[in-house]
Amino acid sequence: MAIKERVGTVVSDKMDKTVVVAVENRFPHPIYKKTVSRTTRYKAHDEDNRCQVGDRVKITETRPLSRTKRWTVSEIMTSSQPTS
């Protein structure tokens, strides 16, 4: 079975070693054909606390790390704040 990957935006980084990533899914409504967007929030493991709110990240499914955490941050695609 393939490992699941998602791309989303960090919406919260207030927890230690955990970020909340919002992943948006767009699809046409089955009857009305209007594009509908659904947002799912995943808790992802961020070992070094490198992610900040607004970052675009790729998350990968992993074994259960806690009661609600089943994803890890595999890479930060774009950072919200430039590093000096």
Tokens standing for residue 72: 């890890």
Domain boundaries, the chain: 5-78
pLDDT tens digits, 13-27: 999 999 999 999 999
The region, left, alpha or beta by phi > 0 then psi within -120 to 50, assigned to residue 17 is left
Q: Which residues contact 83 (CB under 8 A, 6 or more apart)?
A: none
Number of residues written out for the chain: 84
Measured from the Cβ of residue 40, the count of other Cβ atoms closer than 10 Å reads 11
Nearest-CA neighbor of 39 among 58, 65, 21? 21
Instruction: Quote the pTM value.
Output: 0.89
Classify domain 5-78 at the CATH superfamily level: Nucleic acid-binding proteins (2.40.50.140)
pLDDT tens digits, 22-74: 999 999 999 999 999 999 999 999 999 999 999 999 999 999 999 999 999 99
- Distance between CA atoms of residues 52 and 72, nearest Å: 15
